Structure 1
Amino acid sequence: MWHRLPCPEDGRVTEIIAGLYMSPLELLALLGAVGLVVARWLPPAARPYVTNAAVAVLVASTLTLGVVGIRWQMLPVLAGAAVTLPFALVPLLRRRTGRPARRAQWWLALPGSAACLGLLATGPVAAWAFPVPVFPEPSGSFAVGTRVMQWTDPHRPETFTADPDDRRTVVVQLWYPAQKSPAGARRAQYLGRTEQEARTVSDALVRQVGLPGFLVDGVPRARTQAVFNAPVADGGGRFPIVLFSPGSGGVRTQNTAWAEELASHGYVVVGLDHPYDSAAVLLTDGRTINTKTDSTGDRDKDDKLAADWTAVRAADLSFVLTQLDRLDRGEIAGPLTGRLDTSRAAATGHSMGGAAALQAARQDRRFDAVIDLDGYPHGPTSPSLQQPTLALTQAITPATDPRYLPRLTEALQLNTATSYRLTTPGAAHLTFMDGPLYLPPVPSIVGSLGRIHSPHVVAAATLAFLDTTLRHEPGDLAGVLSAYGSLSIHPPDNSR
């Protein structure tokens, strides 16, 4: 199976094998290196031809990779080739000068050949474990456009700084139904508007988790399925709104695959960067704001801090919904004027963003539905929710915070509208974001659903819920959701 992947350096398109996550150039370099090792064990008449062909393929592909950019995953392959090359060439050179070719006895050469093959195998394994993410093709009828906007709330001071004149600023990215772009149109960069911004954000994210940055250097190279600033889809219809708050330290683009899938089905998804909370937020004035939301290690203090940060995020969601309403009315210039249906809006989020979505919906009745992607409900549980709510969770295990399920259940049971909790077998906390597309497929990290199935499950379940609650489409919502895991339904308590 082949995917088409834009080359990060010049926008040209190359092909990448889905299983190995290696480009044809990388695969050729690998095959050339393997050919050098294998030639030693071929019949004497075939050795010169195989060696010469392998050297030619290896040199040509390596030189080309040097121009377009060599990934660190290829370094073991090149190292193995460098070790093998002298042993492969020296016998050929001796033969050409008329001297007898000397080769080590097979029992001496075997361990060296095995070691080199092991080194060469490290390259494909590393490319598979830490790939350039390939974003799934959206399944809806619309192409997807995206654009970034920055808004400042003049009525709300920035609580993370001591400057009394500083006002809260948020950066948002919109994914929306778009006209089909011309063939070869450059796809949007992942994690940022430019590759430099993407690298800044990627570096900030890996610093948070303590990973060496080079391990995920393929992530800022990736391109998504959307096109920046593509024309809005034809027709006079207005699109429902889905606001999204990322996890703690997360960024607006962390659920891009999910956002593109929803947009292809006729929704406008709006992802938020929360300055001083998100790992890195790049503002239009050139500033980069890094996170200040560090935990203290004290549970009580951290609970209080998390509740405070959640409240800020909830206020950000309400502010952005107001701005979208202004954008729809033409008070803010933009191509989506007259196309946004802010009377059909959902508050959604992952992890702490899910808690922010719950809190925003409690405080702002303009939100008509809520989706919590594995988020612990920080902050007060009152007033009660009054909107249909979907909570997607990973399986509850002994390692799960024992307060999580009771706290979430309380919030759902107090809801005056129907709530659903869908526990997805095989899911982990990072299943509900883009992590499975570029992190090692370790079940404890990204779950066991796989790189292709993980985004499909999350998008399909949330789409079914949104179609029912925002578009009021008929159907068996409980039956659809049950296909993706264990479903608990909390009907409203009419006695309240």
Structure 2
Amino acid sequence: MRLFEMILLLCTASSIIIYFFGKTRLSIKALSGWVSLAILAVHLLTEGYRWPLLPLYFIVLLFSALSLYQYYKKPPLKKRRPVHTALISSILAAVLFISGGLMVLFPFFQLPEPTGQLSVGTQTLHLIDKSRQEIFAADRNPNRKRELMVQLWYPAEAVSGDPAPFISSGSKMIKAVAQSIGMPAFLLNHLNYIPSNSYKDAAIAKINSTYPLVILNHGFSSSRVYQTSYAENLASHGYIVASIDHTYSTAATVFPDGRTTYTDTSQDMLDTSDTYRDKLGGEWTKDILFTLDQLEKMNKGTVPSIFKGKIDLNHVGVFGHSLGGAASYDAAYDPRIKAGMDLDGSLFNYRNKHGFNKPFMFMMSDQGFNMYKRVIDKQYFSDQELKELDTTPEQYKRDVDNMKAMFKHYQHVVRQGGEVVYVQGTKHNNFMDQQLFSPLITRLLGITGSIDGERSIEIVNRYVLDFFDKHLKNAGGYLVTGPNPNYREVKFISSTFSKLNQT
């Protein structure tokens, strides 16, 4: 809740009490109504309108009009009966309560503040891979090339002015976000006013000559904006972070000319076989490696940018959520990438591959690990349970076989010194900033788990930073090597996979 929203709510509640139950003079009652009107004007001018406050706005305008009328009306209005006073005040109090409740359901939140000492700059790149045809576009135009929007976060010099907006694409992006969680767009109009902790096109910090690079990937039908807090936190600790919008697999991607693409990678655009996920994920891996190619050119100066000579290409990491985590694992086979993390993502293109010999970490949701644990313990679903899950025994058998093949990769990672953990109380969407949009509603709808949203973001940020500090900066590593009393929700389960019998 913003400052003037809170003041307006408290002032209006006081006005109701003064007006109906106070024994003050009429001029004092009128003044309380006018003060509320003045606060409303300041709120609208400085903070902007929000739909949950419409009932509150109505009460303020009603009281202001009534105060003016009573103050100047001669003779004064007749005294109300106590029953009328009680009824009217109760209705207004109920309306005020509804407005306050809506503000709680749809809060004006702040993104978690980065924990590093450095300011954060950001800029967005429009990249075109002229070597690849865009296979997801509906028009199937063979001349259409793969286009990406990539947002960079980086350590910045002293900054000034207002930070960049959390969602810079405005109404198009907010409409897509609302559709992705099944809400009308106007319910999320407050996202227009949420600031980030980053400053657009700020000068890159001079404290170090170069900075390690981390490439970040969102989940399917998600967006790079949902991982903003992770990117900002890494940048504040001295990393350059490149977050990719994987076109036609996002809630919305808005290009500089205003063109907007949405999730359009339906199976029939590729084929209807079991290799769909492999083909889709394979395109994401190509996106990652192409982005890395372009950043190499920027670092050399063949593509003009502020990052010339600033990217430490000997220390490159990759991580992501869901399909973006799986793509991070797949991209980590590239020798330029030194370490990676997968946040609750099931792998693709793993059946005929051996593992790699480099640091990697899997961080699962409680929900995801419980699904795997059932297979590990051979507690398979009954036919009735499968029917309730709207799947068939044949499909479930394929899923179990795929999980077992995936487990071999987890096993290999552990044997190479990597870790597998899960976070108690989390579900799949607890690894995104989306959980901050309406924490109460997402929890009630089962979109997120029982863990507090800010706590889950803190945990992921701490472990992501500690992992990359250890493997890209040769520092840290005190969290990712074993249980920590400050983060009891994080359960290390590497032994579950290292001892797993795959027969």
TM-score band, normalised by shorter chain: 0.7 to 0.9
What is the root-mean-square deviation of aligned Cα atoms in Å? Answer: 2.9
TM-superposed CA distance for 1:53, in Å, is: 2.6
Most deviating of 59-68 and 263-272: 59-68
TM-superposed CA distance for 1:486, in Å, is: 0.6
- Contact 2:148–2:245 (CA<8 Å) still a contact in 1? yes
- Contact 1:422–1:481 (CA<8 Å) still a contact in 2? no
Match of 2:301 among 324, 327, 330: 330
How many angstroms apart in 1 are the aligned matches of 2:130 and 2:13? 63
Match of 1:447 among 427, 443, 449: 449
Match of 1:63 among 41, 57, 78: 41
Match of 1:242 among 208, 211, 214: 214
TM-superposed CA distance for 1:213, in Å, is: 0.6
- Contact 1:22–1:127 (CA<8 Å) still a contact in 2? no
Q: Could you say which residue in structure 1 is the equivalent of 2:198?
A: 226
Quickly say closer, same or farther: Cα 1:122–1:347, change in 2 above 3 A: same
How many angstroms apart in 1 are the aligned matches of 2:178 and 2:76? 55
* Residue 433 of structure 2 corresponds to residue 434 of structure 1: yes
Match of 1:487 among 475, 483, 492: 492
Quickly say closer, same or farther: Cα 1:231–1:203, change in 2 above 3 A: same
Q: Could you say which residue in structure 2 is the equivalent of 1:10?
A: none
How many angstroms apart in 2 are the aligned matches of 1:399 and 1:423? 10
Aligned residues: 458
- Contact 1:381–1:411 (CA<8 Å) still a contact in 2? no
TM-superposed CA distance for 1:49, in Å, is: 4.9
Q: Residue 244 of structure 1: SS of its match in structure 2?
A: strand
Higher normalized helix content (fraction of residues): 2
Quickly say closer, same or farther: Cα 1:350–1:398, change in 2 above 3 A: closer
Q: Could you say which residue in structure 1 is the equivalent of 2:409?
A: 411
Q: Could you say which residue in structure 2 is the equivalent of 1:320?
A: 291
TM-superposed CA distance for 1:48, in Å, is: 2.6
Q: Could you say which residue in structure 1 is the equivalent of 2:223?
A: 251
Quickly say closer, same or farther: Cα 1:461–1:481, change in 2 above 3 A: farther
The code of the aligned residue for 1:435 comes to Q
Counterparts of residues 353-392 of structure 1 (less than 5 Å):
353-362=324-333, 364-386=334-356, 387-392=358-363
- Contact 2:156–2:205 (CA<8 Å) still a contact in 1? yes
Q: Could you say which residue in structure 1 is the equivalent of 2:14?
A: 35
Counterparts of residues 80-95 of structure 1 (less than 5 Å):
80-81=59-60
- Contact 1:73–1:123 (CA<8 Å) still a contact in 2? yes
- Contact 1:39–1:47 (CA<8 Å) still a contact in 2? no
TM-score by length of 2: 0.83
How many angstroms apart in 2 are the aligned matches of 1:371 and 1:428? 18
How many angstroms apart in 2 are the aligned matches of 1:202 and 1:166? 27
* Residue 146 of structure 2 corresponds to residue 168 of structure 1: yes
TM-superposed CA distance for 1:396, in Å, is: 2.9
Most deviating of 423-432 and 220-229: 423-432
- Contact 1:246–1:272 (CA<8 Å) still a contact in 2? yes
How many angstroms apart in 2 are the aligned matches of 1:399 and 1:295? 28
Q: Residue 39 of structure 2: SS of its match in structure 1?
A: helix
How many angstroms apart in 1 are the aligned matches of 2:65 and 2:240? 59
Runs (5+) with no aligned partner, structure 2: 375-398
- Contact 1:179–1:234 (CA<8 Å) still a contact in 2? yes
Most deviating of 76-85 and 221-230: 76-85
TM-superposed CA distance for 1:246, in Å, is: 0.6
TM-superposed CA distance for 1:394, in Å, is: 1.7
How many angstroms apart in 1 are the aligned matches of 2:142 and 2:19? 74
How many angstroms apart in 2 are the aligned matches of 1:481 and 1:164? 53
* Residue 228 of structure 2 corresponds to residue 278 of structure 1: no
Quickly say closer, same or farther: Cα 1:475–1:78, change in 2 above 3 A: closer
TM-superposed CA distance for 1:83, in Å, is: 5.9
Q: Could you say which residue in structure 1 is the equivalent of 2:393?
A: none
- Contact 1:252–1:272 (CA<8 Å) still a contact in 2? yes
Q: Could you say which residue in structure 1 is the equivalent of 2:89?
A: 113
How many angstroms apart in 1 are the aligned matches of 2:339 and 2:178? 33
The code of the aligned residue for 1:122 comes to I
How many angstroms apart in 1 are the aligned matches of 2:475 and 2:311? 19
Q: Residue 140 of structure 1: SS of its match in structure 2?
A: coil
- Contact 1:368–1:388 (CA<8 Å) still a contact in 2? yes
Counterparts of residues 280-319 of structure 1 (less than 5 Å):
280-294=252-266, 301=272, 304-319=275-290
How many angstroms apart in 2 are the aligned matches of 1:253 and 1:100? 55
Match of 1:143 among 119, 127, 131: 119
How many angstroms apart in 2 are the aligned matches of 1:323 and 1:149? 10
- Contact 1:40–1:47 (CA<8 Å) still a contact in 2? no
Q: Could you say which residue in structure 1 is the equivalent of 2:3?
A: 23
Q: Residue 218 of structure 1: SS of its match in structure 2?
A: helix
How many angstroms apart in 2 are the aligned matches of 1:270 and 1:421? 25
The code of the aligned residue for 1:489 comes to S
- Contact 1:350–1:375 (CA<8 Å) still a contact in 2? yes
TM-score by length of 1: 0.84
TM-superposed CA distance for 1:400, in Å, is: 4.9
TM-superposed CA distance for 1:37, in Å, is: 2.1
